[in-house]
Structures are given as structure tokens and as C-alpha cells.
Amino acid sequence: MAKPPARKSSSQDIDRFLQQSRNISEFVTKQPRLLFAIDATASRQPTWDRASQVQQEMFQATAGVASLAVQLAYYRGFRQFSTSPWLADSQQLARLMDAVRCEGGHTQIARLLRHALVEHRKHAVRSLVFIGDALEESEDTLCDLAGQCGLLKLPLFLFQEGLHPAVEKTFRSMATLSDGAFARFDSSSAGTLAALLGAVARYAAGGRAALENTPGDSARLLLGQLKN
């Protein structure tokens, strides 16, 4: 027996759907924003499986801040730089992160910072969280961009995986110039890192006052580095 023809959407249905989409978009646009970025180049491959789980746990820590919109960004391969839409669903963003795989390529931190500045000028981004282990770009260029972020009140929270001293030096300088903070990324300390990102998320949502009201060592670590 043939199926009856599907009911065509009326103009009212279409208008209602479009209005609902606009309402969701406007809601996300008005939320405080946090940009979560990761280095997915081949240098991270040896520890990627463990680190990926920690990254997701860090990322899911933002779920406790209901008013926060997050964008996932990553670079890898030959000039591949990807970003998600701004989303308020931490589970959806965690699934996107789970699909990321490492590919050989150079770091693109300058490109990431320029993207963040463009987004910040459209709608304010409260903070940028970055996880990486390598640096193949000009320190002067990166520090200049970090300084621009600082002038526009876009703090950088930089998490370093590994112990490379040159990377640490530059990351610390970038954190200082942007009025942000620096911390180690160690996949053996998942709970500490999740708490640290949770503190960053609270800072992004409510500023320094929200961080001052957050108990624990993670909040104190950030407050000790933040200027504003």
C-alpha cells in the first residue's frame, strides 16, 4: 500500500522554524564566550590518547557554567585550521573534540590568535584557553598578538604539555602580555586540570569576582597571575 504523501510545511511552519533558529542564535550570541583551542599536530601523537581524555574532562568542566558559550578550535596538517560554531552544549562540543585526530604539520598559534581577535571584535570573547606542546613561529609575532589581546581585554590561558624550556618561556610571556595565566598540562593530573579549566570558565562567565568566590587551589593559581 502506497504511503500517503508527506505533509508540506506551511509558511507558518517555516517562519516558526526560522524564528526558533534566530532565537537560539541570539541566545548563544548574548552568552559569555570562551574559545577552547588545541594543538593537534603530530608532536602530540605519542600522548594523544591520554591527553585527549584529559582535554575532554577539562572541556566538560565548563558544563558547570550554564551561561557560557564555547567554540572549539584546532590546527593540524598542512595549514588546516578548524573551528566549531559557538555552542552552549558541552556534550556536543565534547563529541566534536573526540573526533579530532593528530596530523603532521607546523604550529599555527599566530593564526589562532588572529582568529580570536576577529571573533572578539564581533562579540566579546572573555578568554582563550590553549593546549599545546610545541612552537615553530616567531616569538616576537606571538608576543605582539598576545599584547593586542591584552589591550582588548582578551586574556590567554596557556597550558603547556611537556617541558620544552623555549615553549614555556614564550607561553609565559604571552600569558603575561595578555593579562592571562600559564599552567602545565600533565595528563596524569586530570582532576587538577578539570578544576583549573572550571575556574577559567567561571572567570569567563563572571570575571575576577566569580573567580574570587571559587574555592580551591586552581582559583588561587589563576588569581596569583591575573592582573585584572
Q: Is residue 15 part of a domain?
A: no
Q: Is residue 139 part of a domain?
A: yes
> 56-91 pLDDT, tens per residue?
776 676 766 657 898 999 999 999 999 999 998 877
Distance, in Å, from the CA atom of 88 to the CA atom of 131, rounded to the nearest integer, reads: 21
pLDDT value of position 26: 41
222: left (phi over 0), alpha (psi -120 to 50) or beta: alpha
Q: Would you place residue 15 in the very low, low, confident or very high pLDDT band (cuts 50, 70, 90)?
A: very low
Q: Is residue 130 part of a domain?
A: yes
Q: At what angle do helices 217-225 and 190-212 cross, to 10 degrees?
A: 60
Give the residue from 31, 34, 29, 27 showing the smallest Cα distance to 203: 34
Q: Which DSSP category does 87 fall into?
A: B
Q: Is residue 36 part of a domain?
A: yes
Q: Is residue 24 part of a domain?
A: no
> Count of domains in the chain?
1
- The CATH number linked to 75 is 3.40.50.410
Cβ atoms of 39 and 131 within 8 Å: the answer is yes
Q: Which domain holds residue 43?
A: 32-225
* Sheet of 69-76, strand order: 80-83, 69-76, 33-39, 127-132, 156-161, 181-185
Q: Is residue 107 part of a domain?
A: yes
Mean pLDDT of 37-65: 79
CA angle 102, 108, 113 (to 5 degrees): 125
Q: Is residue 108 part of a domain?
A: yes
Q: Is residue 26 part of a domain?
A: no
Residue with grid cell 532565537, as numbered in its chain:
23
pLDDT value of position 7: 53
Q: Classify strands 33-39 and 69-76 as parallel, antiparallel or unpaired.
A: parallel
